[in-house]
Structure 1
Amino acid sequence: MLMENKAENKAVFDAESAKEVVKELRDSFVTGKTKSHRWRVTQLKAMLKMLDENEPQIVAALRDDLSKPEFESSLYEIQMLKNSCRLALKEMNHWMMPEKAKTSLTTFPSSAEIVSEPLGVVLVISAWNYPFLLSLDPVVGAISAGNAIVLKPSEMAPASSSLIAKLVADYLDSSCIKVVEGAVPETSALLEQKWDKILYTGNGRVARIVMAAAAKHLTPVVLELGGKSPVIVDSNINLKVATRRIIAGKWGCNNGQACISPDYIITTKDYATKLVDSFKCELERFYGKDPLESKDLSRIVNSNHFDRLSKLMDEEKVSSKIVHGGQRNEKNLQIAPTIFLDVPVNSLIMKEEIFGPLLPIITVDKVEQSFDLIHSSGGKPLAAYLFTNNKKLKRKFVETVSAGGLVVNDTAVHLAIHSLPFGGVGESGMGSYHGKFSFDAFSHKKAVLYRGFAGDAFLRYPPYTPGKLTLLQALLSGSIVGIIRALLGWFWA
């Protein structure tokens, strides 16, 4: 009976609830509270304090959700968030300053500037694989731009979601920043509302739902998705370093459950055996002879994803291609780092984003053929990687491969460079954030032109004449010679 009463008393978050949340935030926003530099600084400092004082709890939540190693939790989630906060605190005053813009003879005398203003009330829908980083990093940008915010963490990382909701309520301004927990019904209720921007991190299927909902209100979106991120491995490189860097970007990033994780490798037939041998050596060095016993590998997030990955591994034309790994523990949701050699390009594992610890190697006769293979996949990945010492190959890689971001001779590290935009293209997403790009993502760039009452040109006013038209055309073209000719023609007329 007590359990029934608890169930009855549990608040239901529906469209009406979402409407109330948005109204409360919009009421706070219109007061101008979030626009002040002081409020933005206060919130970012509070977030830094929140991360400093609760690191053990954050690490524990990530361990509960993903068995994520403390090293990865502290470095790739907490420290990167702190870096985002510190950068915003250091640069925000500069970001907020109006940017001077050039004017022309058309409006002489005049001055112009571009003013960054907050968009209003924004929605951030986060992913489960990096539940703290991917939830709060966009929030740093939204705060620094002066917005009111609703954050919807992923229900697939319940311990992290619950902790985020508690910490945000305890440390940040609850009149302007709110967390809504839940699953599909709660997300659907939020998407029914009118937002001034939505940032969604996740998969393409849900992204289409988000975009369709946003279209009803003409709400702009940032979509951070994924795709099959390729790694091209040339010969005549430092193979040991290359292998280690691929391992770090693949299994060292949440055991492959990362949007920028290497999805497959392309190398030459002649080099493939050396590459596989190097992987075997380094993987054993990092994770031991039985990687399922390693404390440095995350587990698969849930049974659905475990089954999905198992299906990719067990496909008849793929299962025989395993050259390393393949161990599984369904009870503990563990899959060891697994390498496949020469899987068919029409296999399931090559048709969808893997998002897990499986790494196929495709071979070609010449490394230059890798570009055609990437193009034939039909998608534009979130990231693409190349290992080579060949300058010509580097140039061709940058010129021909379309992806959210490119890295030469490493993997995943571009995520840590705040001066670079992070975002996708095509199927891998739209829009970008990180550093000032986060500030810009949640700002409207307002054009402002200042004029006095001097220099009022009679040319723009009726009655219209051929002479006025000729002179105005010359002024608009910016051609000094044209202006002189027009004036001389007017004078001689």
Structure 2
Amino acid sequence: MQHIQLEALQASAARRHTHSYEWRRQQLLRLKETLLRHEAAIYTALYSDLKKNREEAWITEIGFVISEINYALKHLKRWMQPRRVGTNLLNFPSRSYLQPEPLGVVLIIGPWNYPLQLVLAPLVGALAAGNCAVLKPSEYAAATAAVLEQIVKDAFDPAEVALVQGDGAVVIPQMMEAFRFDHVFYTGSTAVGTLVYGLAAKKLVPVTLELGGKSPCIIEPDAALEVAARRIAVTKFSNAGQMCVAPDYLLVHQQVLEPFLAHLKKSIQDFYAADGVRNYHFGKVINEQQFGRLLQYLEEGEIWAGGNYDAATLHLAPTLLGKVRPNARVMQDEIFGPVLPILTWNTKEEALRIIEQNKNPLALYVFTENSETANWWMHNVAFGGGCINNCSWHLTNHRLPFGGRGNSGIGAYHGAFSFNTFSHLKGIMKTPTWFDPALKYPPFKGKLNLFKKVLR
């Protein structure tokens, strides 16, 4: 059945009707309308899977996708236009341009932490670029996956956009071995991303890998400590810490540890109340396997705040973990939960050595009031993207590419970067016939010096 479905998608892409502006525009409008029509069902599903409240669900899931759609609709005509580029002297008087072209049939594999957004946001780019798509949502967020399936059925022709359910470890290899996709877009862990990359390489399929990593957050002595504490707390503990760009650990200068810690504890208290594990604003861990992994981290340091949990409801309070050894497991794994290790440093070299243990983080965050200090960190750490005096919010800016490097990913998306990811830029040169100098043709003897002047 899946094979027949994939062949139908391939046939649709071959018809090239998806290349038109009107087709792309209609797909985006239908997605937006259907998404809003299922808003109530999405809230229910996200609460079931992750205990997300409606406000968080709107900002990080539904509204995020709507914003991507609106931005694509606004700029789509311009993105589709040929892009003039210069032409070298050797080819005078030719003119050159880049022509965006759809890739064909793309596979989008989503994770469980933002189970709606991280499937549909890439789909916006794929549709804007004129592609057919297969979506594979995470089976670990089953309620949201079921709503996604209904949205796709209501919004799209199944021969143009299809959704496949099932165990990803089985379904994804089956599809990728039976069918050659024109692009694979994967969001998830580095370990699984490596497997997806290997499957794609067998058929020379290009990939975008949006992976994770340990994103450090650096607190300099001159940081605005109260503001830093609030901005760190709201992003680290959003979605119960299950966010790829959440600060994974803090590197706090020894001089300001005590006052900063006081502000951070107060922010957690203000945001999530004393009984944070049951507060409206705080979600749950996705499943028992992840919950058990997180509890093991609590044994690797001194609990400075939180630490209480309810295994029956998979709730773990926002937890600050101090006196953590740099080589502890909690400093090797991507935490992906409401546990925040805090390490101290006195020299930048000392902090850099800790960061270098997990190279190429997906994000880097620095809090300082000194621009030179901020720029020093920006230039001395290789990372995907990040913020100065903020955390995580860079991913909401359509004009910034979102993606990692090295172990944290390959490629980027959001806004125009999504359109480019799912397009092939044809390089085309148009040469007039009225100018056809003999020096371009054999015999070439005696023309070497002229060639050296022209080709430079």
Cα offset for 1:368?
Answer: 6.1
Structural RMSD (CA):
1.2
Corresponding residue for residue 96 of structure 1: 80
Specify the alignment match of 2:318 in structure 1: 337
2:278 paired with 1:293: yes
Structure 2's unaligned 5+ residue stretches are: none
Normalised by the length of structure 2, the TM-score is 0.97
Question: For 1:207, which of 183, 193, 210 is the aligned residue?
Answer: 193
1:471 is displaced (CA, Å) by: 1.2
- For residues 361-408 of structure 1, what are the alpha-carbon distances to aligned partners after superposition, in whole Å with 9 as ceiling and x for unaligned? 001124564233212x14211101001112221110111111110200
Contact 2:253-2:346 within 8 A present in 1 as well = yes
Q: Is the 8 A contact 1:368 1:393 kept in 2?
A: no
> What SS is found at the alignment partner of 1:60?
helix
Whether 1:273 aligns to 2:258 is yes
User: Normalising by structure 1, what TM-score?
Assistant: 0.90
In 2, distance between residues paired with 1:391 and 1:383? Answer: 19
**Is the CA contact (8 Å cut-off) linking 2:332 and 2:358 kept in structure 1?**
no
For residue 345 of structure 2, the aligned residue among 355, 358, 364 is: 364
Identity, % of aligned positions: 38
Amino acid at match of 2:259: K
- Of 197, 209, 222, which residue of structure 2 is paired with 1:236? 222
The aligned counterpart of 1:416 is 396
Output aligned runs, 1:46-445, within 5 Å: 46-183=30-167, 184-192=169-177, 193-252=179-238, 254-314=239-299, 318-319=300-301, 321-366=302-347, 369-375=350-356, 377-445=357-425
d(CA) in 1 for partners of 2:9 and 2:444? 51
Residue 204 (structure 1) shift:
0.9
Equivalent position SS for 1:446: strand
SS of match in other structure, 1:422: coil
Determine which of 434, 437, 453 is the counterpart of 1:454: 434
Counterpart amino acid of residue 317 in structure 2: A
Question: Which secondary structure does the structure 2 equivalent of 1:94 belong to?
Answer: helix
Report deviation, 1:336: 0.4
- 1:165·1:179 contact (CA, 8 Å) conserved in 2? yes
| Alpha-carbon distance in structure 2 between the residues aligned to 1:286 and 1:464 | 77
CA displacement at 1:293 relative to structure 2: 2.1
Query: CA–CA distance in 1 between the matches of 2:35 and 2:291?
Result: 31
1:189 Cα deviation after fit: 1.2
Post-superposition shift, 1:342?
2.1
With 53-62 and 358-367 compared, the bigger mean Cα shift is at: 358-367
Structure 1: which 5+ residue stretches go unaligned?
1-16, 478-493
Amino acid corresponding to residue 234 of structure 2 in structure 1: A
Which residue does 1:28 correspond to in 2? Answer: 12
Cα separation, 2, equivalents of 1:236 and 1:388? 6
Q: Residue 19 of structure 1 aligns to which amino acid in structure 2?
A: H
Looking at structure 1, the residues matched to 206 and 410 of structure 2 have their Cα atoms a distance apart, in angstroms, of 10
Which structure has the larger Rg over C-alpha atoms? 1
- The DSSP-based 3-state class of the residue aligned with 1:362 is strand
Q: 1:201 to 1:133 in 2, by over 3 A?
A: same
In structure 2, the partner of 1:44 is: 28
Contact 2:126 2:419 in 1 (8 A): yes
Partner of 1:468: 447
- Aligned with 1:278: secondary structure? helix
Deviation track 1:45-64 (CA, whole Å, cap 9, x = no partner) reads 01111122111111111001
CA separation in 2, counterparts of 1:80 and 1:64? 20
Superposed CA deviations along residues 304-332 of structure 1, whole A, max 9, x for unmatched, are 00011111213xxx24x111110011111
SS in 2 for 1:433: coil
Equivalent residues, number = 454
Mapped to 1, the partners of 2:7 and 2:144 lie a distance apart of 27
